[in-house]
Structure formats: structure tokens, C-alpha cells
């Protein structure tokens, strides 16, 4: 009995945390916002090309493949405390609120533990002909860069996200840029997605130590930083992937692998007013008793990510998506994938700002035009087959890594007897190639 009460209690806390404010995605500092991390805003970044609309902006494009490299998201922990070593996360407490407990909690969601691999879907409701495809490895892991402490009694209980971020920055500016800030204090407010200077951050209180709740809670909050909404619905609107989160039935971002169409439970909405229909799909949002173990649901053991949710997470590491919260800037530097590459089979114009993790191959006779910013990983290359062209039209090709440069553009080897022809690489309208290791013949 006792166990039952406590599990309800934790469910209540989780419900409270999620239900109240994640959706709000608190906007911090509305005026004179200075961006820490600039995405390219050149006029040629229109995000309106066909390749963008039909391919690169779609979460389905990024659904992880079996042989893809794993990408690491860096997270930096900031803990606000009272002046003395009391309250949450005490140095000398080996019990519920001490550092060993915190370490145990953080270990469970980092370094390829429970943040990377998805559980299989299970649900309390059955829908005929619905089998969400299952992918085990999401290809994203989290890594903690550091845990910093701030003995600041006023900030220990503040509800002002901005005050917390500003203090961290004042202490050491580099800490804000080191990894996605995950800030703990004891405001007792609900955990929520926040942002500082254009980048994602999470602010949360964990009221009672419970590793299962804590893990689910943190995975869920970080899920919001990737642009995922709830599988349940917020009374206040927003924050739900079911309908209100730019993902209405049938739209590009709709999670058709989470919400079964023609769900009988929501076709009787007149009888069950808590489950309105989402015509024409007739999918339901999840609410007790019809729930699943989805990462973004409200259950304690929520570790299932659908393929499209995984795709959206990976998209957030490529594009500056999720309302401009630049999560991709917190990705750990890595070597470009030279085996599983992107192949360009038809002429494409890239008028969007993208962070790339793989080499790019432009097939024979095809032209790739870069009008915005394309940033490759360490030693990444763009390979041009015979007759392929690369035109940098007012845009930029560079690296997104801080500790190494990309390789450059590889052009086909010419026979000695071949006549001198013009370079397949062209820079026009102020286009630039920066931070490449190789020297490249460039035409205008």
C-alpha cells in the first residue's frame, strides 16, 4: 500500500512538472536579445528552396540509419545552493540529496546509457493495424562536461531563469557556452525548457530523490530542447505534439508513428469528452488510462522514442530549429563520417544553414549550389564526381567544429593529357570557403 501511495505521489510530481510549464517554454529576455550563437541570417538564407521544403527540413529525412555515427550532446550542470552546505545536492551527504545520488542520476542519462537507446513501445490501449516501427539506437548520446556549484541563497529559490543564467555568465562566461546548461535550484517551480541568448537551456528542481522519476524527468525535459512536444495535451495550449505543436494531423511534423490513426478511443469523443478527435486522422492524445511509455508522455518508465521523434532530435542537431534555440552548438566536435555519406543525385540549391556530420558526394554532372551556410565536421569533405559542380553563391562552406577544420572539396583527378578546363568550384556573389585544410582551385 505504501508503495502504491508513493508511486502515485511521484506520478503527481511528474505530472505537475510536465503539465504546467514545459509547454510554456519560457522565453527569457525579450528585448535587446544578444545571441551567443549566431545562425547565418544572410539574405540568401531563404529556407524556401525545394530541397529544404521537401527534404532537409523534414524530420523523416533524419531518422537514424543503422550505421550512422553517434553524435554527442554536451550538457553542463549548474547547481544553485544555500550558503551553507544544506538543501539539495550536498557535498557531504551520502544519502538522498548528496553528490553520489546526483552522480547516479546523471550517469543514467549520459554516455550512451538510457538517453541513447529506446525501449520498445508499450501502451495501455490497443489500436488495430498500428505497429510503430521500432529503432533501438537513436544515435545521440549525452555527456556531462562539468558540474558547477553556486552558493547563492537568493538564486537558490528564484523563479527567474534570466537571473540564474546571468549569474553563471558573470562567474565565467565560458561556462554558458561549454554545454547545454542544465540548471538546478530549489524554486520548486516546474522543470521547463528555457533559453539564454538564443541557445537552449533547462531549469529544474527535483523535489524528492527518486532515480526513476529523476531519469524520466530529465530525459523528458531534454526532449523538449530537441523540439519534442508532449504526447498528452496541455490545457493552456502548446507543448503537445498531438495537435497544437505545429504538428496537426497530416502536417510535415506530425508524429504518425506515435498517434495511431482511427483510434477508436477518440471516435467517441461525445461520450468521452476528454478525448477529442483530430480529424481526419482520428488520433487521440494520450491521457490516463490510454497512455504509452513514450519519452514525452507523463509516465515514470517513459523510454520509448519513435523513429520520427528520433528524426526530429537529429534534425535539431543539423538545423537551428525549435524556435531558434540553437541546440546544435552544444554538439561535441567529431570526425566527419566518411563511410555513410550524403549523396546528391539531382541539382540542389541549399538556401538554409546546416551543420553536417557526414561527407557529401555530388554525383557526375550534378550541381550543388550553396547560398547560405554549410558547416562540416572535422576532416569532412565534399567530393565532386566528373562533371559535378559546386557553386558557393553568396554563401559559406566552413566547419562547425572548434578543435579542427574540415578537409575541403575533392575534385576528379585529371589525366595529364587533358586540356586545362575551368574549375568545378565557383565562388560568386561574395561566396566563401573557410577553414578547409586543402588548397582548392577556385573559379569565379
CA dihedral 81, 87, 88, 91 (to 10 degrees): 80
Shortest distance, position 18 Cβ to Zn ion, whole Å: 4
Shortest distance, position 107 Cβ to Zn ion, whole Å: 22
Shortest distance, position 217 Cβ to Zn ion, whole Å: 9
Comparing CB distances to Zn ion, the nearer of 194 and 411 is 194
Helix (H) or strand (E) holding 314: helix 307-316
Comparing CB distances to Zn ion, the nearer of 201 and 397 is 201
Shortest distance, position 409 Cβ to Zn ion, whole Å: 43
Comparing CB distances to Zn ion, the nearer of 177 and 221 is 221
Comparing CB distances to Zn ion, the nearer of 227 and 395 is 227
Comparing CB distances to Zn ion, the nearer of 19 and 406 is 19
Shortest distance, position 212 Cβ to Zn ion, whole Å: 17
Comparing CB distances to Zn ion, the nearer of 39 and 308 is 308
Shortest distance, position 125 Cβ to Zn ion, whole Å: 21
Shortest distance, position 214 Cβ to Zn ion, whole Å: 14
**Residue spans of beta strands (DSSP E) within 126-176:** 140-151
Shortest distance, position 20 Cβ to Zn ion, whole Å: 9
Residues near 122 by beta carbon (within 8 Å), at least 6 away in sequence: 292, 293, 304
Comparing CB distances to Zn ion, the nearer of 218 and 378 is 218
Instruction: Please report, as ranges, the residues that interact with Zn ion according to CB under 5 A.
Output: 18, 22
Residues near 81 by beta carbon (within 8 Å), at least 6 away in sequence: 87, 88, 89, 149, 150, 151, 152, 156
CB atoms near residue 226 (< 10 Å): 24
Comparing CB distances to Zn ion, the nearer of 18 and 106 is 18
Give the span between the Cα atoms of 248 and 150, in whole angstroms.
42
**Residue spans of beta strands (DSSP E) within 320-364:** 337-344, 348-350, 354-355, 358-362
Among all residues, whose Cβ is closest to Zn ion? 22
Comparing CB distances to Zn ion, the nearer of 22 and 360 is 22
Cα angle vertex 7, ends 21, 105, to 5°? 70
Contact between residue 107 and residue 113 where contact means Cβ atoms under 8 Å apart = yes
Comparing CB distances to Zn ion, the nearer of 18 and 135 is 18
For residue 58, count CB atoms less than 10 angstroms from its CB and return exposed for 0-12, middle for 13-18, buried for 19 or more: middle
319 in helix, strand or coil?
coil
- Calculate the alpha carbon distances from 359 to 34, 73, 339, 340, 382 in Å: 33, 20, 8, 8, 6
Shortest distance, position 130 Cβ to Zn ion, whole Å: 24
Shortest distance, position 22 Cβ to Zn ion, whole Å: 3
- Calculate the alpha carbon distances from 346 to 55, 210, 362, 405 in Å: 12, 52, 8, 27
Comparing CB distances to Zn ion, the nearer of 22 and 317 is 22
Cα angle vertex 178, ends 176, 40, to 5°? 80
Which among 360, 28, 339, 313 is positioned nearest to 196, based on CA atoms?
A: 28
Comparing CB distances to Zn ion, the nearer of 78 and 230 is 230
Shortest distance, position 244 Cβ to Zn ion, whole Å: 13
Give the span between the Cα atoms of 16 and 379, in whole angstroms.
46
Give the span between the Cα atoms of 33 and 36, in whole angstroms.
9
**Residue spans of beta strands (DSSP E) within 162-271:** 180-184, 192-196, 199-204
Give the span between the Cα atoms of 179 and 168, in whole angstroms.
13
Shortest distance, position 192 Cβ to Zn ion, whole Å: 8
Amino acid at each position: 500500500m505504501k508503495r502504491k501511495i508513493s508511486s502515485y505521489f511521484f506520478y503527481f510530481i511528474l505530472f505537475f512538472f510536465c503539465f504546467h510549464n514545459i509547454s510554456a517554454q519560457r522565453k527569457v529576455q525579450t528585448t535587446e536579445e544578444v545571441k551567443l550563437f549566431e545562425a547565418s541570417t544572410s539574405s540568401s538564407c531563404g529556407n524556401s528552396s525545394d530541397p529544404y521544403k521537401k527534404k532537409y527540413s523534414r524530420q523523416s529525412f533524419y531518422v537514424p540509419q543503422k550505421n550512422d555515427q553517434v553524435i554527442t550532446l554536451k550538457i553542463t550542470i549548474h547547481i544553485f545552493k544555500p550558503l551553507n552546505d544544506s538543501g539539495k545536492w550536498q557535498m557531504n551527504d551520502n544519502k538522498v540529496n548528496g553528490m553520489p545520488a546526483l552522480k547516479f542520476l546523471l550517469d543514467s542519462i549520459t554516455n550512451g546509457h538510457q538517453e541513447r537507446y529506446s525501449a520498445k513501445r508499450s501502451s495501455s490501449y490497443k489500436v488495430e493495424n498500428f505497429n510503430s516501427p521500432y529503432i533501438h539506437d537513436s544515435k545521440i548520446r549525452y555527456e556531462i562536461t562539468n558540474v558547477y556549484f553556486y552558493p547563492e541563497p537568493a538564486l537558490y529559490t528564484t523563479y527567474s531563469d534570466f537571473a540564474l543564467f546571468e549569474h553563471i555568465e558573470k562567474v565565467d562566461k565560458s561556462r554558458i557556452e561549454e554545454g547545454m546548461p542544465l540548471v538546478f535550484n530549489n524554486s520548486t517551480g516546474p522543470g521547463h525548457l528555457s533559453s539564454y541568448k538564443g541557445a537552449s537551456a533547462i531549469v529544474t528542481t527535483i523535489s524528492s530523490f527518486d532515480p526513476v522519476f529523476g531519469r524520466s524527468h530529465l530525459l523528458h525535459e531534454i526532449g523538449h530542447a530537441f523540439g519534442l512536444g508532449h504526447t498528452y495535451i496541455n490545457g493552456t495550449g502548446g507543448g503537445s505534439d498531438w495537435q497544437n505543436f505545429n504538428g496537426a494531423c497530416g502536417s510535415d511534423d506530425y508524429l504518425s508513428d506515435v498517434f495511431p490513426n482511427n483510434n477508436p478511443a477518440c471516435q467517441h469523443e461525445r461520450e468521452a469528452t476528454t478525448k477529442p478527435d483530430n480529424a481526419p486522422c482520428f488520433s487521440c492524445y494520450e491521457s490516463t488510462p490510454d497512455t504509452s511509455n513514450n519519452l514525452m508522455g507523463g509516465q515514470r518508465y517513459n523510454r520509448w522514442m519513435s523513429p520520427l521523434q528520433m528524426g526530429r532530435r537529429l534534425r535539431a542537431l543539423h538545423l537551428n530549429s525549435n524556435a531558434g534555440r540553437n541546440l546544435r552548438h552544444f554538439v561535441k566536435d567529431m570526425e566527419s563520417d566518411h563511410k555513410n555519406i550524403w549523396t546528391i543525385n539531382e541539382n540542389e540549391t541549399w538556401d538554409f544553414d546546416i551543420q553536417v556530420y557526414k561527407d557529401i558526394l555530388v554525383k557526375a554532372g550534378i550541381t550543388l549550389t550553396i547560398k547560405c551556410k554549410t558547416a562540416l565536421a572535422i576532416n569532412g569533405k565534399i567530393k565532386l564526381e566528373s562533371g559535378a559542380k559546386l557553386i558557393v553563391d553568396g554563401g559559406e562552406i566552413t566547419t562547425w567544429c572548434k578543435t579542427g577544420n574540415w578537409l575541403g572539396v575533392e575534385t576528379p583527378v585529371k589525366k595529364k593529357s587533358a586540356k586545362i578546363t575551368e574549375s568545378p568550384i565557383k565562388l560568386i556573389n561574395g561566396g566563401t570557403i573557410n577553414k578547409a585544410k586543402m588548397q582548392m582551385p577556385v573559379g569565379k
